[in-house]
Amino acid sequence: MKIKSYRDLQVWQKSMELVIECYRLVEKFPKHEIYGLGSQLRRAVVSVVANITEGHKRSHRKEYIQHLFISYGSLAEVETHLEIAQRLQYIDKEVHETLTEKSVTIGRMLNALKRSLTTGSRSSRSPTPET
């Protein structure tokens, strides 16, 4: 199946789910953290999905790959912010582990997508929907 939109990418779909979960999580943070750690977590998680989208819309494969690298970096930020939130006891260990596992899965998907764009012999720019 040919990818018609970034919305067809499973990595985009999973990243969007993580955005929603993190936004809901931040709502439970102490009020004094809404503009601190909460804001940083929201920005980082939105950056993951936004860079997948922007990269997909770029006309050159190299630009697409660069945006995936940015997305991957933002994902590392998300994991760090989640770790901080857990250590500050804003979230419990189970929530931290669940969201971190989702982040790791998204990271693997991003790596697979980067690989498909750099080593694929396909003539089209778009990868398969599984990534």
Q: What is the DSSP letter of 123?
A: S
What does the pLDDT read at residue 81? 98
Q: What is the DSSP letter of 5?
A: S
Q: Give the count of domains, the chain.
A: 1
Q: Does residue 125 lie within any of the structural domains?
A: no
Q: Does residue 124 lie within any of the structural domains?
A: no
What does the pLDDT average to over 97-113? 98
What does the pLDDT read at residue 131? 52
Average predicted confidence (pLDDT) for the chain = 91
Residue 95 domain boundaries: 6-117
Q: Does residue 59 lie within any of the structural domains?
A: yes
Q: Does residue 60 lie within any of the structural domains?
A: yes
In this prediction the pTM is: 0.88
Q: Does residue 24 lie within any of the structural domains?
A: yes
Q: Does residue 97 lie within any of the structural domains?
A: yes
Report the distance separating Cα 76 and Cα 58, nearest Å.
Answer: 23
At residue 121 the predicted structure's pLDDT band, cuts being 50, 70 and 90, is: very low
| Per-residue pLDDT at 34 exceeds 90 | no
| Per-residue pLDDT at 106 exceeds 70 | yes
| Per-residue pLDDT at 129 exceeds 50 | no
CATH classification of the domain holding 58:
1.20.1440.60
| Per-residue pLDDT at 55 exceeds 60 | yes
Q: Does residue 129 lie within any of the structural domains?
A: no
| Per-residue pLDDT at 28 exceeds 50 | yes
Q: What is the DSSP letter of 30?
A: -
What does the pLDDT average to over 75-89? 98
Report the distance separating Cα 2 and Cα 63, nearest Å.
Answer: 20
Q: Does residue 128 lie within any of the structural domains?
A: no
